[in-house]
Amino acid sequence: MARPPWRLVLLPGDGIGPEVLAAVRPLLERASWEFESRSGRRLDVQEAVVGGAAVDRFGTPLPEETLRCAQSADAVLLGAVGGPAWDGLAPDRRPEAGLLALRRALGVYANLRPARTLPATRSPLRPEVALGVDVLLVRELTGGLYFGEPRRRWVRQDGLRAAVDTMTYDEEEIRRVARVAFEAARERRGRVTSVDKANVLACSRLWREVVTEVAGEYPDVRLDHQLVDSATLRLVQRPDEYDVILTENLFGDILSDLLGGIVGQFGALASASLGADGPGLFEPVHGSAPDLAGRDLATPAGAILSFALACRYAFGAPDLAQFLTEAVDDVLGEDAGLGTRAFGERVAHHFWLRSHVALT
């Protein structure tokens, strides 16, 4: 009996989101063929609306239909959300609120953001510093300042505007993401750097304590703790020293863009957000880049590599993930200044070549 297809839901979103996901499309047919020949499961692709596009059509950044569709998928691939057109909206109607609600609803607490020196690197750092960077940032994704209550703004009795956000973590939220980082380090160079602000924040002191406890389960992994400010300095000075970086939600958001700057190809950074069960959410690290939108200028490498991460973590095809990564490297190495669409087609060609050669 034929096995049911893998279900991939595409959420293009806003700005360059639809363009970078359109550039993934040419890869999907070949990927489906490869999946079918491995496991008898082809790839079924659906599309749904999220972000500003969903606000415009349905008045909400995460329509129920989109959430249902995502929850019943094996993997969700998101382009990007947000842009100046929606910046004035109430906080819960903003496109970004839709993305946060989606992460929370899918329970994807561990956000894996790999960053490595790419072929024909455009890093602004000196070559001896820029070469040999290979970092996996593990960012806690469903806690911390992004979700803590209370958070609101109001006008005080003295007439001044005030606002509050709350950073909260419990030990289980820290433990489960820490385990993801330690497991990943075992498959890599065996080193975790936990980044916090334990000299000031209560949440960070708890973070440090729990991460140290988890380290006891992984005697083969070396743990060190760094404060976020000096870690930021060190990352720019000696990025090659880092293997797995484990950190909370907001620090992870900031450090991942820094890693984009260090490797010099922000648009090529990909991510996988995983939970205990249910579909993973795969998305490039970059945003909707309003300055590039609609101009065929954005690199779709981050979106394609996010699909590669879906092959690895959702579709049980790590070999295809590897071919896709190599195909992106092939195209980056050609350095032909390709537009978004042509880049996708070129990667599809190299992907076909690499997977075909592996067959013969």
**Rule CB under 6 A: which residues touch ligand IPM?**
82, 96, 99-100, 253, 285, 287
- Alpha-carbon torsion angle 14, 15, 20, 22, nearest 10: 60
Structure tokens at 270: 């990909």
Residue 113 CB, nearest approach to ligand IPM (Å): 8
CB nearer to ligand NAD: pick between 148 and 290:
290
Write down the catalytic residue from 224, 229, 291, 335. Answer: 229
The answer to whether residue 169 is catalytic is no
Give Cβ neighbours of residue 13 (< 8 Å, ≥ 6 apart): 50, 51, 52, 53, 78, 79, 80, 81, 82, 95, 288
Rounded distance between C-alpha atoms, residue 1 and residue 358, angstroms: 27
CB nearer to ligand NAD: pick between 82 and 144:
82
Residue 74 in the binding site for Mn ion (CB under 5 A): no
Structure tokens at 93: 């109607």
Beta strands in the chain (DSSP E): 6-13, 43-47, 75-80, 110-116, 134-140, 148-155, 161-166, 191-196, 222-227, 244-247, 272-274, 280-282
> Which residues in this chain contact ligand NAD in the complex, by CB under 6 A?
16, 20, 80-83, 96, 99, 266-267, 283, 286-292, 298-299, 302
The answer to whether residue 134 is catalytic is no
Nearest position to ligand NAD, beta carbon = 287
Residue 114 binds which entry of ligand IPM, ligand NAD, Mn ion, none, with Cβ cut-offs from 5 to 8 Å by kind? none
Please report, for residues 95, 97, 247, 276, 285, the alpha-carbon distance to residue 92 in angstroms, rounded to integers and kept in the order given: 8, 6, 26, 26, 22
Residue 3 CB, nearest approach to Mn ion (Å): 37
Residue 85 CB, nearest approach to ligand IPM (Å): 15
CB nearer to ligand NAD: pick between 41 and 94:
94
Q: Distance between terminal CA atoms of the chain?
A: 28
* CA atoms in the 13 A half-sphere facing the CB of 328: 28
CB nearer to ligand IPM: pick between 226 and 256:
256
Q: Which amino acid is at 206?
A: L
Write down the catalytic residue from 74, 196, 253, 329. Answer: 253
Rounded distance between C-alpha atoms, residue 260 and residue 153, angstroms: 32
Write down the catalytic residue from 74, 109, 196, 197. Answer: 197
Residue 111 CB, nearest approach to ligand IPM (Å): 8
Strand partners of residue 112:
138, 272
Residue 285 CB, nearest approach to ligand IPM (Å): 6
The answer to whether residue 257 is catalytic is yes
Interaction residues for Mn ion, span 233-262 (CB under 5 A): 253
Q: Which are the catalytic amino acids?
A: 146, 197, 229, 253, 257
By the criterion CB under 5 A, which residues form the site for Mn ion? 253
